[in-house]
Structure formats: structure tokens, C-alpha cells
Amino acid sequence: MSQNSRKKPNILVTGTPGVGKTTTSSLLADSTQLRHINIGELVKQKNLHDGWDDEFDCHIINEDLVCDELEDIMEEGGNIVDYHGCDFFPERWFDRVVVLQTNNPVLYDRLSNRGYQGAKLSNNIECEIFQVLLEEAKGSYPEDIVIPLQSDSVEDISRNVGMLTDWVRNWQPAS
Ligand code: DAT
């Protein structure tokens, strides 16, 4: 099957933890009727991991199992994939890769409120400072489909969701 046989687009929403991926993806799914796939939740629910990483305090995701699990529905199209990593998904899956970004003091407060502290907090703040996810996205997908969007405020979320909703409505399958 060719990469563009899907009838609805697939969007990847990525960025450092806390930038607003889940909030944005969930609102976008409501406004477009696309399916929101939170990879972290999927990994937990379907045991697509190789145990728990004590150092990083998270599951050790099994990337092959995740890709196998998603292959059919990604081919079908109409998915919003939400994850803080982006280099292991097949490039052909996505029509848009949105990289959310947040100003550091704002992100620090969001992650502290989530209970992050010590190395987990500082690693994620550094990840945002060095634009790790933006570089990863640019290295993994064609540059013209990678869109950085600022996500500091509630107004930013509304604007981003509105803009992406318009994009989905105007998307045309390849003929
Ligand atoms: P992520 O999925 O990237 O980890 P999230 O959607 O769970 O992030 O958001 C983390 C917290 O920050 C949550 O309490 C909602 C809040 N938040 C996210 N983006 C925001 C924004 N642009 N303005 C205000 N609050 C935001």
C-alpha cells in the first residue's frame, strides 16, 4: 500500500513532558473526531514495555511492540499520536509532526506540580532548553511537515488547536 492511501491524516504531537501534548491532542481529537493515542497510556495498558526503569522512573518502552500494535490503524489514518519521543515511528506514518514548546519557568512549574523533582525535573528542563525533541523531529521527518508551536498559555492551546483543526479539515488524501 502506498504511504498516502489513508483517507484521513495522521498527526504526531511531540515535545518534552509537560509542554501540553495530552491537553492539546485531546482537544484536537474532540474538534476533529480523530483518534487520540497516548503512547504512554497504551504502553501501560498493553504491556508494551520491558519493565520499569528505576533511574528514569518510567517504563522501558518496547518500540517494536508499539509500532507493531499501531501499524494497522496508522495505515487506516485519522490518528493523533501523543508521545515525548518521535524517532522510532516509521516516517511514512505522519502527515504533520507538531513539536510543542514551553518557556522554561512555566515548564518548571508544570513539572514541579506534577511531582517531578531532582534529576527527573532537571533532565526534562534541559531537554526543553536544548530543543531535543525539535532536533529529533527534524532529523526523523521531512522538514516541511515539522511544525514547532509555542504552548505557554491557555490562549496558545486554543490557537494551536484551532489552527490544527483547520489544517485537518483542509487536508486532502493523495489522488
Ligand atoms: P504533556 O502531555 O506534554 O506531558 P499535559 O497536556 O499533560 O502535558 O500538560 C501538563 C500540565 O500543564 C497540565 O496540568 C495542563 C497544563 N498545560 C499544558 N499546556 C498548557 C498551556 N499551554 N497553558 C496552560 N496550561 C497548560
What local confidence, expressed as pLDDT, does residue 2 receive? 47
- Residue 57 in any domain: the answer is yes
Helix and strand totals (H; E) in the chain:
7, 7
Give the separation between CA 63 and CA 43, rounded to whole angstroms: 10
In whole angstroms, give the CA distance from residue 103 to residue 105: 6
Residue 174: per-residue pLDDT:
81
Helix, strand, coil share of the chain (percent; to 5): 50, 20, 30
- How do residues 131-148 score in pLDDT, each as one tens digit? 999 999 999 999 999 999
**Residue 35, annotated as binding a ligand:** no
Residue 62 located in a structural domain: yes
* Residue range of the domain that includes 105: 11-169
What's the domain count of the chain?
1
What CATH number corresponds to the domain at position 77?
3.40.50.300
Domain presence at residue 4: no
pLDDT tens sequence across 73-89: 999 999 999 999 999 99
The residue among 174 and 142 whose pLDDT is bigger is 142
Asked whether residue 133 is domain-assigned, the answer is yes
Whether 2 is covered by a domain: the verdict is: no
Q: What is the pLDDT of residue 33?
A: 98
Q: What is the pLDDT of residue 123?
A: 95
Question: Among the atoms of ligand 1, which is closest to the Cα of residue 84?
Answer: 3
- Residue 43 falls within a domain, yes or no? yes
Report whether pLDDT(1) > 80: no
Whether residue 95 contacts residue 171, with contact meaning beta carbons closer than 8 Å, is answered with yes
Ligand 1: which of 37, 110, 116 to mutate, most ligand atoms within 8 Å of CB? 110
